[in-house]
Amino acid sequence: MGILGYARVSTGDQDLSGQRRPAGAVRIFEDVISGREFERPGLASLLDYAREGDSLCVVRLDRLGRSLRQLIETVDQLKGNGIGMTSLEEKLDTTSAAGELIFHMLGAIAHFERRLIAERTRDGIAAARAKGRTPGRPPLDGDKLQAAFSLIDSGMSPTKVARQLQVGRSTLYRALSER
């Protein structure tokens, strides 16, 4: 019976060291990947390594998953394999009935909060459009766009062109597809 730590950050710019503190962890598995991604190699390795009676420990629930569905599926998979889950910040332990209930309540609240944010964003965009404003980035300047096309036509990659001209890469790719 051992404690297995799991740490995740979304980008390489972020630091995992603050999540490497699960007390008594015999091994810590790590991912540098968005929480929205279901396929996470570090978590998959942890699940392969874990045995019945082990416990997965995370610093915060959001490190384990971003969506309610993802969290529930992961905890259900753990439970099915006889593996508990603890979250240090939320002081949560799913090996007890009360801990499992609190886990589901916290997950539902997080899901509700994300839905509220999405609704407020849609409402804000609709309000801006009603006032005649167009939300989002301003359109690409014609001169800058021609310079971008020239650089790309000369063999430079769109990613390098976007970086050099300080424009969004997706904006540049969209302009290229409309060309």
- Answer yes or no: are the C-beta atoms of 161 and 179 closer than 8 Å: no
- Tokens, residue 164: 């050099």
Q: Which of the following is catalytic: 10, 87, 154, 177?
A: 10
Active site residue 170: no
Q: How many CA atoms lie within 13 A of 89 on its CB side?
A: 10
- How far is Cα of residue 155 from the mean position of the Cα atoms in its chain? 34
- Tokens, residue 24: 């008594």
Number of helices (H), then strands (E), in the chain: 7, 5
What's the rounded Cα separation, in Å, for the pair 22 and 64?
Answer: 14
Q: Where are the beta strands (DSSP E) in the chain?
A: 3-9, 25-32, 55-58, 84-87, 92-93
Q: Which residues does the annotation mark as catalytic?
A: 10
